[in-house]
Structure 1
């Protein structure tokens, strides 16, 4: 990698840090105008609209045998997490959500070990346990030292991170014949139309946009979140992987929580000093998970799925 490519890589990494780290405060602001479910659905739909021209261009290049896998990937990797993050932030701080989101690499390793045939080293497994300990401590501390109230809303973020991890493994194993752009735009293409139908028939979003002018302020937040924080960010992330390496690209995981917490401070959120201890455990665990590469071997998941040719 020459000097120009190196500078571009760091510029993209910095941009992703700001973009993805700011996503959680944008969700919080959107919730002033829409419910958690509405925010999640609109996030997916606006991203679908933005990526639609790219999807139409790629439609003829993606074999229809990939339809169900792409649709499943869109549900697991986009729809469910978007809904869970938005619903969670109706009760927990955006900075906390941003911190718990960094569990994704830990779950990626666990899912890969359990179902997709990866073997690994002791230090990686140790990292998983350290990271999960930090997450449990952070959730319990944030919920006042017990397993009620906000604990379960924080747990929704953990489930969303687990969904991201499942999707990463699905993409890695079953989308070998597609490039990263095709995967991104076609997953949103296949899930976007059903989401639009659901919005029109089963939500009050159209009514709010017609009768409540202030709802359009929420649409501005959602537009930034969807177009910049999802559409453009995914394209930039794919570019970063090509310019550098997956390991370098994944380092954005370590800085997203910092930006999320800073936005929370600016917005007046409470973030106790003890939170930083649990956050350090999470990020330390993520570091150990990425410390040495995993190795592929025949996996349990192989007998449940058939790769499309």
Structure 2
């Protein structure tokens, strides 16, 4: 395959990934019309796990073994799947899908803040610090705490909590799960299996509400689980390993655009000037935090074998999904999903 063909194929995969990730919030919105937030979360994890487990064994791979690795997978599944998936579903009961996609884009901001708190983010350049401050300023503009009413409230806080949970998960996975030669399909399948188990434990508490499973709700739940969770997980791994994580990071900037456009076109969601302004400020801030990695070319030219995950010390330096992806930027575990889901 020549360079032009590889470039075209790589661009196509990135476009497909951006569309799948960006549509996640649309399908959550539709699924919530007949299912409770916890039911949406469980269906997403369980159906996604089923698809990846079948794919894992169909391609001749096995699930990970050992108590230690499964303990790490369980922790990663909680912070990267069970908790954020539930928070997104809870938040989108009152927050539009387009705004949810933009608030999710604050993940890299939380990741840098976490790195500063843990001491792993050192020598923060002025441009990245400005991006961090600008991003959180945009978030405040969206929240508009000076107003007595608004469409954000607790729902938006839940979505910000999901974005922060991703940041914790990526840091943890980069230090514990990223191992050379480990098939990505095995890790992603195992992580969703663990997330399904964790979510199932909570179903008796908050997931036994009556349901209204019409065709639209069933379709939304299936698409969300199969395409926006299972396929997206594996596709992300392959893009990072085949092409470098810096190239793949562009998805993070396309995702909020896709979520906003789909919300406006399909669901007829309205966006005020203030919210649009806040969204732009957030995305500019996220872009500034990426300046150092982009300028130095981190993530390019460091690729592992297709379908395997590189160790944290050798992983491409960049930002989903979602399971143990290569590290990015200056902090281990900052993966592609930091700009997305």
* TM tier relative to shorter chain: 0.7 to 0.9
- Superposed counterparts of 1:14-29, under 5 Å: 14-29=15-30
Partner residue, 1:281: 281
Aligned length: 290
Counterpart-to-counterpart distance in 1, 2:114 and 2:139: 17
Q: In the alignment, what sits opposite 1:239? A: 238
Q: d(CA) in 2 for partners of 1:68 and 1:188?
A: 13
Which structure has the highest helix share of the two?
1
Q: Give per-residue Cα distances to partners, 1:232-265, cap 9 Å, x unaligned.
A: 1111111111232212211111111111111121
Change (3 A) 1:68 1:146: farther
Equivalent of 2:157 in 142, 155, 158: 155
Q: Is the contact between residue 38 and residue 207 of structure 2 (CA under 8 Å) also seen in structure 1?
A: no
Cα RMSD for the two superposed structures: 2.5
- CA offset at residue 164 of structure 1? 0.7
Deviation at 1:185, TM superposition (A): 1.4
1:19 is displaced (CA, Å) by 0.9
* 8 Å Cα contact 2:63/2:186 also seen in 1: no
1:296 CA displacement: 6.2
Matched, 1:81 2:80: no
Higher relative contact order (CA 8 A, sep 6+): 1
Unaligned residue ranges in structure 2 (runs of 5+): 294-328, 333-341
2:207 pairs, out of 181, 203, 209, with: 203
Residue number in structure 2 paired with 1:13 = 14
Whole-angstrom CA distance in 1 between matches of 2:201 and 2:113: 35
Q: Deviations over 1:26-65 (max 9, x none)?
A: 1111111012222122211221222222456654554331
Where structure 1 has 5 or more consecutive residues not aligned to the other structure, the ranges are 298-309
| Contact 1:62–1:182 (Cα < 8 Å) also in 2 | no
Q: Which residue pairs with 1:35 in the alignment?
A: 36
TM-score computed with the length of structure 2 as normaliser: 0.77
2:186 aligned with 1:185 = no
Deviates more, 1:54-63 or 1:3-12: 54-63
1:291 partnered with 2:291: yes
Contact 1:129 1:285 in 2 (8 A): yes
